[in-house]
Amino acid sequence: MNTNVKNQNGYLKKLRASFPRLAKRHGTPLFVISRTLLLAQLAKFRKLLPRVEPFYAVKANPNPDVIRTLAAEGCGFDVASVPEIEWVLAAGADPKRVIFANTIKRPEAIKYAIRHRVRLMTFDSEYELNKIARHAPNAQVVVRIKVPNVGSVVELSLKFGAEPADAIPLLLKAKRLGLEPAGISFHVGSQCLQGNNYLDALELTRMILNEAENKGLNLKLVDIGGGFPIRHFDSDPDWFAEIAPALNMELSRLFPDDIRIIAEPGRAIVGPSGFLLMSVIGKSIRNNKHWYYLDDGVYGALSGTVFDHCKYQFATLKQGPTQLTTLAGPTCDSLDIISTAEELPELELGDLVYAQNIGAYSIAHATHFNGIPPAKTIFVP
């Protein structure tokens, strides 16, 4: 085991030991984001893909401390709305390192972006291109193409992406409209477990760049999107580390050094930095199985089980023989069942249960259903 892994394991042990103190001080449910783990993930991304500039996908977790920390490290940002632009610029982000990557933008959002010197924008249809030309005539535009999402947990090509055959005609029209065609983007789907999705998309992108050059288009940007997978369970392999070597080889083979490569990681940066602390607020025995009702659930920070198709690892600091249990949330909706097959020791009212690797697409989706507020969020060293 190398020193970095030992240090991180030691840090995680200390952090988990602090959970009862943090819960007593702040109450539960409590969403804990670790600055140390956030920076470790950013460093890991840069180490695994040294040529790729990370533009953090703010939608994954828009916590102000997360944004400020990443901005201070020179990270770029992928934004999808006026508030997200406001947040990253307020945190000190360079507008030149911000991409407005929502392919369906409100006209007033386009005008706001260009007024604040955010010029780089994606599009995937002629309608969007005309809209950008009308409201941001000096914008740099990146065409998002549709690529295979096979094996990804969340399929994104159903809603987004132009057909690859339409990429060049769209970019030529962008030039005729007075816009600056900048490059090509794609997204292989969220939590992508198939490295071939990236490789196939890169081959397709290279073919489009070749055709663009023949048509007199000088494209110098490739945006490889997000989807870089993380481990949600201790037993999971490190998929990202396994995918990265082949991805680096293809980037070197297909794109000369004058082609800028960016990506839009969200989960890969913030996912492992988050923990959700919950208290047992009720218990029962149903069908000969223990049920524990927690003070957060699928309408709160565990919303990723619905919107992100995600499964989380639940644990408790309590020791003892385990038994098959069901965890449920605090609302009056029977949809609010978190898990029906957890191995946990017998718990009492007030005991803590926590979920790890929950930093992305969780608290960002949380609602106030039943009048129950989302978990309080704290940022720890």
| pLDDT tens sequence across 26-46 | 999 999 999 999 999 999 999
Are the CB atoms for 78 and 264 separated by under 8 Å?
yes
Q: Residue 267: in which H helix or E strand, if any? A: helix 267-270
Cis upstream peptide for 29 (omega within 30°): yes
Mean of the pLDDT values across residues 262-281?
97
Number of Cβ within 10 Å of residue 342's Cβ equals 19
Instruction: Look up the pTM and report it.
Output: 0.93
Alpha carbon distance, N-terminus to C-terminus of the chain: 24
* Amino acid sitting at position 310: C
Q: Residue 262's closest CA among 184, 360, 180, 154? A: 184
User: Is the CB of residue 62 less than 8 Å from the CB of residue 87?
Assistant: yes
Query: 244: Cβ–Cβ under 8 A, 6 or more apart, which residues?
Result: 48, 49
DSSP string, 325-348: EEEE-SSS-TT-EEEEEEEEE---
Closest CA to 84 of 63, 104, 65: 63
Query: Would you say residue 157 has pLDDT above 80?
Result: no
58: CB partners within 8 A, 6+ apart: 67, 77, 78, 79, 80, 84, 87, 88, 266
> If we measure between CA atoms, which residue out of 246, 373, 376 comes closest to residue 299?
373
Mean of pLDDT values over 270-290: 96
CATH 3.20.20.140 for domain 272-380 = no
Whether residue 153 contacts residue 310, with contact meaning beta carbons closer than 8 Å, is answered with yes
Greater confidence (310 vs 127) lies with 127
Q: What percent of the chain has pLDDT over 90?
A: 85
pLDDT at 77 over 80: yes
Q: What is the pLDDT of residue 153?
A: 45
- With 0-12 / 13-18 / 19 or more C-beta atoms within 10 angstroms meaning exposed / middle / buried, residue 341 is exposed
The overall average pLDDT reported for the chain is 93
Question: Which band of pLDDT confidence, cut at 50, 70 and 90, is reported for residue 3?
Answer: low
Q: What is the pLDDT of residue 26?
A: 98
For residue 308, the model assigns a pLDDT of 75
Give the fold, CATH level 3, of 37-269.
TIM Barrel (3.20.20)
- Does residue 156 carry a pLDDT above 60? no
Quote the pLDDT of residue 304. Answer: 87
Q: How far apart are CA 347 and CA 61, in angstroms?
A: 31
Split at pLDDT 50, 70, 90, the class of 5 is: low
Which residue did the predictor score with more confidence, 160 or 243? 243
> Are 133 and 179 spatial neighbours (Cβ–Cβ below 8 Å)?
yes
Active site residue 332: yes
Cα separation, 327 vs 2, whole angstroms: 36
Rounded to an integer, what distance in angstroms lies between the CA atom of residue 273 and that of residue 35? Answer: 7
At 201 the three-state DSSP class reads helix
Predicted confidence (pLDDT) per residue in 174-221, tens digit: 999 999 999 999 999 777 777 688 999 999 999 999 999 999 999 999
Residue 303 has pLDDT above 80, yes or no: yes
**What does the pLDDT read at residue 235?**
86
pLDDT per residue as tens digits for the range 114-123:
999 999 999 9
pLDDT category of residue 158 using cuts at 50, 70 and 90? low
Instruction: Label residue 152 by pLDDT band (50, 70, 90).
Output: very low
Q: How far apart are CA 203 and CA 263, in angstroms?
A: 16
- Give 249: exposed, middle or buried? Use CB within 10 Å, 0-12, 13-18, 19+: exposed
Residues comprising the chain, all counted = 381
The pLDDT confidence band at residue 233, using thresholds 50, 70 and 90, is: confident
What 3-state class would DSSP assign to 95? helix
The CA–CA distances, whole Å, from 197 to 132, 142, 192, 210 equal: 30, 20, 8, 20
Domain boundaries defined on the chain: 37-269, 272-380
Render 104-160 in DSSP notation, one character per residue: S--HHHHHHHHHTT--EEEE-SHHHHHHHHHH-TT-EEEEEBP---TTEEE--TTTS
Give residue 2's pLDDT: 57
